[in-house]
């Protein structure tokens, strides 16, 4: 673990780099910095070892004020503790599809990305090595410069049938749930929010990749704002657990406090970008229980199959890409004799087009207010298109949909400080450097101009590593 110091001790020195937050975005940025850089990591929450997490089963969370104007329930999950949501994520790590970076150019919707898949590919590979990812090397969707660190988990019987029939659209999932490497092997119990055997990668169990002699951690203190002098970041204002505020000086500042927390810090710091705080977004997902005429289960981890049959194509001008997950974690079983496994749990995950009205502002007390007007018709059209086409991607009969519902959260907090080339329409450049302040980085999925249908964490980690290397 990092050597910890108090906020008072931190304020007595000047740091080369100060990072707000201690999860994926923060740690992969740190990993990219030159070895001799003196780094201060400031984390709002406590350090809670995995054994203590299992003991309490109740991890500290941030509660964001939310004005939900949409028809459907909405919330996000943000853990306030060392390692943030790496403590509760599920470890699904698809790379973004190459076409995700050219959605605007190809289909005229969304916003331009200032980088391409090839810019990120080497960083994807480095992050996959650190997380000890298990995944398939013969991946027709995402070009790779090298193999995955570990082979994919055993696939479920339904995935085996799908991949044999359509290897062009069905893949074993890439995941951070161990199938070899330094962590305990995944034992497929499917309660991955808090993995009892610590099989999925977390910042805590992967800490050796990030700790360095020249870095220190202040836990239990919050970065409130960035000090800016003459257009350059010079440090931050830190608020201790007892409410004491101190100035800490630094040569560079990076905020990695998730898309809502980052927006709050940058707004408090007086940044004036017209898009700052806007375009908060995430994917829409629909969970479905579907009866089929083929056996399921007996895979080696909680989710073993990904379907790209509804992902890219001309439809993306009007309907979002959909990534479909096929679960292996036991769910409801059928009751007919001999057919108890002939049921699938599927999740259709649709990209959305970010909307300016979904946004973070500051309340009178300086805390973030989140306004949510809902998802776009574009995202729901993607879900409808995939649901209508289900029978086309399975090599066995789809007998009927038992149940389906939209999820109130994907727990992917994205947008609010989007990257781009034009300071009028973006907050950072492609290296996550704020256009309007020298020496200030805004890390994490807040930088995504569009959502992709893929889970965000591998991509935000690769972007952070690339940003750290740019220092």
Ligand X SMILES: Cc1cc2nc3c(=O)[nH]c(=O)nc-3n(C[C@H](O)[C@H](O)[C@H](O)COP(=O)(O)OP(=O)(O)OC[C@H]3O[C@@H](n4cnc5c(N)ncnc54)[C@H](O)[C@@H]3O)c2cc1C
Smallest separation (angstroms) from ligand X to the CB of 269: 11
First to last CA, the chain: 24
Q: How far is CA 358 from CA 125, 180, 372, in A?
A: 33, 41, 5
- The footprint of ligand SF4 on this chain (CB under 6 A) covers a number of residues equal to 14
Torsion angle defined by CA atoms of residues 66, 71, 73 and 74, in that order, rounded to the nearest 10 degrees: -40
Smallest separation (angstroms) from ligand X to the CB of 336: 32
316 binds ligand X (CB under 6 A): no
Residue 150 DSSP class: B
Smallest separation (angstroms) from ligand X to the CB of 457: 3
> Which of ligand X, ligand SF4, none does residue 197 bind (CB under 5 to 8 Å by kind)?
ligand SF4
Smallest separation (angstroms) from ligand X to the CB of 60: 8
Sorted by sequence, the CB contacts under 8 Å of residue 55 that are 6+ apart come out as none
204 binds ligand SF4 (CB under 6 A): no
What values do phi and psi take at 24, rounded to 5?
Answer: -55, -50
> Containing H/E element for 393?
helix 390-393
192 binds ligand SF4 (CB under 6 A): yes
Interstrand relation of 215-219 and 39-43 (parallel, antiparallel or unpaired): parallel
Residue nearest ligand X (C-beta atom): 84
Candidates 2, 15, 24, 201; binder of ligand X (CB under 6 A) is: 24
In 10 A of CB 376, how many CB atoms?
20
53 binds ligand SF4 (CB under 6 A): no
108 CB-contact burial (10 Å; exposed 0-12 / middle 13-18 / buried 19+): exposed
Smallest separation (angstroms) from ligand SF4 to the CB of 141: 23
92 binds ligand SF4 (CB under 6 A): no
Smallest separation (angstroms) from ligand SF4 to the CB of 4: 28
Residue 94 DSSP class: P
Q: Where are the strands (E) in 230-363, listed by range?
A: 232-239, 245-255, 284-292, 303-310, 322-327, 343-350, 359-362
Torsion angle defined by CA atoms of residues 465, 276, 430 and 434, in that order, rounded to the nearest 10 degrees: -80
The tally of CA atoms less than 13 A away on the side-chain side of residue 92 is 27
22 binds ligand X (CB under 6 A): yes
199 binds ligand SF4 (CB under 6 A): yes
Instruction: Pick out residues in 301-340 that bind ligand SF4 (CB under 6 A).
Output: 301-302
Candidates 37, 53, 92, 225; binder of ligand X (CB under 6 A) is: 92
455 binds ligand X (CB under 6 A): yes
Rank residues 178 and 260 by Cβ distance to ligand SF4 and give the closer one. Answer: 178
- The footprint of ligand X on this chain (CB under 6 A) covers a number of residues equal to 39
Interface region with ligand SF4, contact rule CB under 6 A, candidates 135-143, 166-174, 193-201, 425-433 = 193-201
Q: How far is CA 130 from CA 27, 207, 380, in A?
A: 11, 10, 35
What values do phi and psi take at 182, rounded to 5?
Answer: -80, -15
99 binds ligand X (CB under 6 A): no
457 binds ligand X (CB under 6 A): yes
Instruction: Pick out residues in 404-423 that bind ligand X (CB under 6 A).
Output: 411-412
> Which of ligand X, ligand SF4, none does residue 157 bind (CB under 5 to 8 Å by kind)?
none
Contact track, ligand SF4, 121-140, x by CB under 6 A: --------------------
304 binds ligand X (CB under 6 A): no
Candidates 4, 6, 68, 189; binder of ligand SF4 (CB under 6 A) is: 189
197 binds ligand SF4 (CB under 6 A): yes
154 binds ligand SF4 (CB under 6 A): no
Rank residues 131 and 294 by Cβ distance to ligand X and give the closer one. Answer: 131
Rank residues 87 and 234 by Cβ distance to ligand X and give the closer one. Answer: 87
Give the integer Cα–Cα distance in Å for 296 and 302.
13
- Percentages helix, strand, coil for the chain, rounded to the nearest 5? 25, 25, 50
191 binds ligand SF4 (CB under 6 A): yes
β-sheet with 303-310: strand ranges across: 170-172, 303-310, 322-327, 343-350, 284-292, 398-406
Smallest separation (angstroms) from ligand SF4 to the CB of 86: 13
Question: Could you write out the DSSP letters of every residue in 397-443?
Answer: -EEEEEEEEE-S-----B-SS-B-S-TTT-SB-TT-BBTTSBTEEE-
Name the residue among 423, 409, 417, 416 with its Cα closest to residue 360: 416
Q: How many residues does the chain have?
A: 471
Residues in the site for ligand X, rule: CB under 6 A? 20-26, 42-45, 77-78, 80-81, 84-86, 88-92, 193, 222-223, 256-258, 261, 265, 411-412, 444-445, 455-457, 460
Residues in the site for ligand SF4, rule: CB under 6 A? 177, 186-192, 195, 197, 199-200, 301-302
């Amino acid at each position: 673990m990092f050597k910890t110091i108090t906020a008072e001790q931190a304020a007595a020195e000047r740091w080369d780099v100060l990072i707000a937050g201690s999860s994926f975005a923060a740690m992969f940025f740190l990993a990219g910095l030159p070895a001799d850089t003196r780094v201060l990591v400031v984390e709002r929450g406590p350090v809670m070892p995995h054994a203590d997490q299992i003991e309490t089963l109740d991890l500290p969370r941030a509660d964001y004020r939310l004005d939900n104007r949409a028809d459907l329930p909405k919330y996000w999950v943000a853990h306030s503790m060392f390692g943030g949501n790496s403590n509760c994520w599920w470890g699904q790590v698809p790379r973004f599809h190459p076409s995700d970076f050219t959605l605007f150019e190809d289909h005229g919707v969304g916003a331009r990305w200032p980088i391409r898949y090839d810019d990120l590919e080497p960083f994807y590979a480095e992050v996959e090595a650190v997380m000890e990812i298990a995944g398939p090397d013969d991946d027709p969707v995402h070009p790779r410069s090298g193999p995955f660190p570990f082979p994919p988990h055993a696939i479920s019987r339904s995935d085996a049938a799908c991949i044999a029939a359509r290897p062009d659209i069905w893949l074993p999932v890439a995941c951070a749930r161990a199938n070899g490497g330094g962590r305990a092997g995944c034992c497929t119990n499917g309660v991955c929010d808090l993995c009892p055997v610590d099989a999925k990668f977390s910042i805590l169990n992967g800490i050796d990749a990030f700790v360095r002699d020249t870095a220190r951690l202040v836990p239990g203190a919050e970065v409130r704002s960035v000090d800016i002098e003459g257009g350059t970041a010079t440090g931050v204002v830190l608020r201790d657990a007892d409410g004491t505020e101190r100035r800490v000086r630094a040569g560079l500042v990076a905020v990695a406090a998730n898309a809502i927390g980052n927006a709050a810090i940058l707004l408090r710091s007086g940044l004036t970008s017209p898009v700052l705080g806007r375009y908060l977004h995430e994917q829409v997902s629909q969970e479905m229980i579907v009866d089929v005429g083929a056996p399921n289960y007996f895979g080696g981890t909680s989710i073993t199959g990904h379907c790209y049959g509804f992902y890219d194509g001309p439809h993306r001008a009007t309907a979002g890409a959909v990534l479909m997950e096929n679960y292996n974690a036991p769910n409801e079983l059928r009751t007919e004799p001999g057919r108890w496994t002939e049921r699938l749990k599927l999740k259709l995950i649709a990209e959305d087009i970010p909307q300016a009205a979904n946004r973070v502002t500051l309340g009178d007390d300086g805390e973030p207010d989140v306004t949510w007007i809902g998802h776009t018709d574009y995202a729901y059209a993607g879900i409808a298109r995939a649901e209508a086409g289900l029978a086309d991607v399975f090599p066995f009969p789809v007998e009927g949909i038992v149940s389906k519902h939209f999820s109130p959260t994907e727990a992917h907090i994205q947008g609010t400080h989007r990257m781009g080339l034009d300071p009028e329409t973006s907050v950072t450049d492609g290296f996550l450097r704020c256009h309007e302040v020298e020496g200030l980085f805004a890390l994490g999925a807040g930088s995504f101009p569009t959502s992709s249908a893929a889970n965000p964490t591998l991509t935000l980690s690769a972007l952070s590593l690339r940003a750290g290397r740019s220092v």
